[in-house]
Every structure is written in structure tokens, then in C-alpha cells.
Structure 1
Amino acid sequence: MKKVTDFAHYITRFFSEYLSGTRNLSKNTIKAYRDTYRLLLVFCKEVNGITPEKLAIKKIDDKVVTQYLDWLQKERKCTIPTRNQRLAAIHTFFRYLQIQNPEILFLCQRILQIPFKRAPRSLIQHLTPEQTSLLLEQPDAQTKRGRRDMVLLSVLYDTGARVQEICNLRVRDVRLESPSMATLTGKGCKSRYVPLLGNTVNLLRKYMEERKLLENGKQDMPLFYNQRCAALTRGGITHILQKYANKLECLNTLPKITPHILRHSKAVHLLQAGVNIVYIRDILGHVSVKTTEMYARVDMETKRKVLEKAYADITPEDMPDWNQDEDLLDFLQNL
């Protein structure tokens, strides 16, 4: 019987006990960690010639990790943010490992000292209120599926939810009576209450009545489901949104339409409406208001209105007509 390597032992405990048990991380987060180490095994086998069954912790030092990160960028064409996410997953494992096995403390700390790579910060893309309204009008309200899609997109925008939060919505998470709200469960299994506005409440009530979701025994049903009565997946919701985005005549002038762009759009629209940024933070489920402040950097309309109110217009209204300047005309004629 072959001996199990220390890497196999600790990585198994890391996933089965620490991430899912001690940290209670979401399935999607654990999948992201899994992909990091799956690619690490591929790298060690293809580049360093070390098969998974022979991979030991002592063979993974700071140089190997740095080579792995560079390989992700050069060979797999990963972006810098993706590279940093992979490094964060590696940091988490070796932070866990240094407590489990203090004998390799020096090795762990050298890996923990690998810095994240700075990346150029791009501006957040969002839709205007007019563009958002046009997108939400695309589903065909004359069909049952079209009505579902209309309610789905309306809830996705109105709540500013992450797409996975919409996937996880159950019937019991929606309150139609005043005060109307939806209970969203986001990152870190943290729940928050998000108010629902009048039009969305009316659409939800009609949708739930048509689907008979208000009957007893349906409380644990997914709010949005497919033909098999299974909850819509992130890919399914993205496909639905893209289908209606492709119908827009102005698609070429718009940023790439994704579920997350509706979240960004909702945040910017709230900011433009004068909603306190602390309330926007709570609606979006951000841990820190500093994360929410990024929307203030892209809100050009609000900046323009503030400047118009704060400063007198001291620049000239228009340019003088050069045809009335006789000296200039004489100069040009004498050239």
C-alpha cells in the first residue's frame, strides 16, 4: 500500500474540515479554492514533472508558488485579479498549515510573504435608467416564460442582488405584505433584508399567484425555477439576461450585459437619487462602506450637478464672431 503524502493529508483536511466546517464557506467559494489546487496539481505535473501522488509539502516553496502564478498568467492567460484570487487561496491554506504543523513554519511564512500583484483599476460599467428600463421591457408578457423572465430581471435589478443570491431565493424569503422585502443570503452565509418597491411587489404577487407559490407547502420551493422545478443556476440566469440584451438595438453602444451589471446599475441609480451611501452599502451587502464608495467614482451625472451648484459660471458663453473683427480681416487680406 502506497504511503499518503503529507500534502494529500493536509489538503484533504483543509477542504473537508476547515473550509466547510470551521469557516463555513459557501459552495462557490470552496469550488474556487478547489480550482486553485487543481491547477496547482496540473502545473506541478506538466512543468515540474511531479505527479499528484508524489507531491509533498516540502516541494512547494515560495519559488514554486511564484512560478505557478506566472504560469497562470502566461500559459492560461489569467488576469491579474484571477492571479491574486489564486494566491489568496494559497495563503489561506498555508496560514492553516502553519498552525497544524509548526515544524514548517518558516516555509509557510515565506509563502505568506508573496505579495499580491497590483492591477490597473478599471471603471465600473453600468446602464443608465433609460437603458435599464428598455432591457426590462424585452420579455414577452404574453407568455408564461416571458412573465417569469420579466419578474426575474425586475427582482435582480430592484434588489441589487448577486446572481447567486437570486438562485438561492426561496418562496419563504419574499414578503409581499407591507413592509415588502426580500431576504438575501450572500457571501459568508450572511443574510440581509432588502426592501422591494411597488412595481416589483405587484409583479411578484401576480407571478406567485400564477405559479401557485403562495399555497401552503410551497415555502421551500425556489422562487425562480426551470421546467424541472429546479432552481435556476447562475449560468441559466446569465443566459436569460443575454437573450434579452441581444434584442436591444443599441446593444453595440452598451457595456457587456451581465447579471452583475444590473447590480452596479442599481447602486449608481440609488446614488444619483441621493440615497445615503450607508444605506446603499446595506442593500448591496458590502462589509465596508469603502467598497461601496467605488460607485461614487463613476457617477459623473451627480458630480456634474454638484459642480453646477457649487461654482458660478465664469467661463465665456460663446466665442466672438471673427467676421466682425475688422483688424483681423485687414490682416488676412494683406497676407
Structure 2
Amino acid sequence: MGSHRRLVPSGFDRGASTALCVLSATAAALGAVPALAAPHDDPRGEVDRLYEEAERATEAYNKADERADSLREEVGLARDRIARQQERINSMRESLGSLAGAQYRSGGLDPSLALLFSDDPDDYLDKAAVLDRITVRQAGELKDLQDAMREIAQDRAETSRKLGELERSRKTVAAHKRTVEGKLAKARALLNSLPSAERAAYDRASRSGREGMPELGSAVPASGRAASAIAAATSALGKPYVWGANGPSGFDCSGLMQWSYAQAGVALPRTSQAQRFAGPQVPLSQAQPGDLVTYRSDASHVGMYVGNGQVIHAPYPGAPVRYDPVGMMPGATVTRV
């Protein structure tokens, strides 16, 4: 989503260096490489800054939303477990009630008098032995019931804690959503305030024709799943940037990476910060097609390396999924999935 930056030196596959230089010159000619810390009296630079801030807020939203989804699932599982525990406790109580009734009916007389009035002393002794066994069993079941009740109390307390966390997470998601929408609204208002010629120039810069297939060289993908992910990502070329979306009709930067690798059977985390650590780090000079490239010190943007110094990514609102030079932003790190 962020703006294009100066290109960084790299040692990619054959022809990458030349491609980076050519693309850098082209981007400069188009005016698509505003400075990182653009002065606020530069409207186009301010739009770019707002888009960058919105992208950071979008990744924070994605993280909070992912946590809320996880908590909802955990709470659902916990409620199912508690329901099963309650059924077990009810069954144990019923069993204990039956045993207690049998004990009361058999133990209503003093043992010596019961023996005196018994028509068959041997039968009485047999019944007494059974009663002793019932008592031992009852004690064991009572302990099991106590353990089950402690367990269900702990699960209920944990579920209550998670419900509280879920509510806080929902509020966090809503706050990040407001932040993103506020930044994007300011950016749109600022763009609309530009003279038509400047607005058209900015629009041309953000739609710089890179959704076409550039020369990607002969580099081999890092793996079969990387090749499948590249195929999925290229099928999304031209799809719109939609903040908080992970396909298939629209994407934000990390959503495109997650969706592309999902088509290859690989589950990536939702945010660019987490995707940065989804595999081993490799030097930028050793990037292979399919590697993830995260940008900025906070890894708030991510793209996929496709060869010859190019990445495919979802840049920012108004700019569709496209190819750009790998050195478009500072702070690039490479992760092999």
C-alpha cells in the first residue's frame, strides 16, 4: 500500500540489476517515487503518507481480527466441552443418588438387630458384604464427581476470561477500522482537492502499467508450492486493493500473500509482520521466486518475489495488484516459505 521508494542495491538473478535501474528511471520519470518523509505542503506526498499510515493500521486491524476469530473458536469449543462435562456430572449425580437410596433402605436397622430378626443370617451377611462394596464404590464416584465439578468450574472461569478478551478484541478491531477509514478518507479528500491535472498525474503514477507481465528472467522458484503460489498471485493481477481483504475479488498486501499460498496448500498467518517469520530468512541477494519480501522496519507491507528484481503485491487503494521493483521501499527482508 505504501509509496514507491528509492531502489536498494541487490544481487538477484541474471539481469536483475539492469532491470532495477531501468525501472527506477521509469518510476522517477512518472513521479511515482515520492520521498519517505514528504513535507506536508506536498499534497501528493501527504496522500502517500496517509496511505502508508492506513496500511499500518490495516495490518493492526488484521491482527486484532485474527485474534478475535481465534477467540470465538476457542470459546465455542469451551462451551461444547462444558456442556459435555455437565452431562457427565448429571449422570454421576443420578448414579450416586441411586446408591444412596439403596444404602438407606438396607441400613435402616442396627446391624445386630437386623441379624437377630433375619430369617436367614447367611443371606443377611451376604447383603452386608454387598452394601460394603456399594459404599466403597459410592466413595469413589463421589471423588470423581468432586473432580469433575472442579474441572468444570475452572473451564467456566477460563471461558469467562476469554469472553472478556473477545469483547476487548472486538473493540480493538473497531478502533483500528475507524483509524483506517479515517486515514483513507483524508487521503481521498486531499486527492479530490488537487487540480485535475495533478490528480490525473497521481492516478497515472499509481496505475503505471505494471500489471502487464515484465521480463522475469529464468530464476527457478524455491519449491513446487512457491511455483503454485506465484501462479495464484499472478492470476490476481489487476484485482483491486481492498483493505482487510484476503481474496478472491480484492486484497490487501498480506491478504494477497495468504490467499496465494493457500492455493498452494500452505497456511500463512494473516499479517505481514507474522508472515515475515513464516519461514527462514535469506539474504536479499539470494531471493528466489515465491519468497516473501516484507518492507519497512515494522514489516507493515509485503510482496512476493517473482524474479528479475520484481515483486507482485497489492500496493494501496486505487492501485491494483501489480508488479513493481523489489527495491520500491526501504527495509526489505526476505522469507522463504
Could you say which TM-score interval applies, normalised by the shorter chain? under 0.3
TM-score, normalized by length of structure 1?
A: 0.20
TM-score, normalized by length of structure 2?
A: 0.20
Q: Answer with 1 or 2: which has the greater Rg.
A: 2
Return the structure number with greater relative CO, CA threshold 8 A, min gap 6: 2
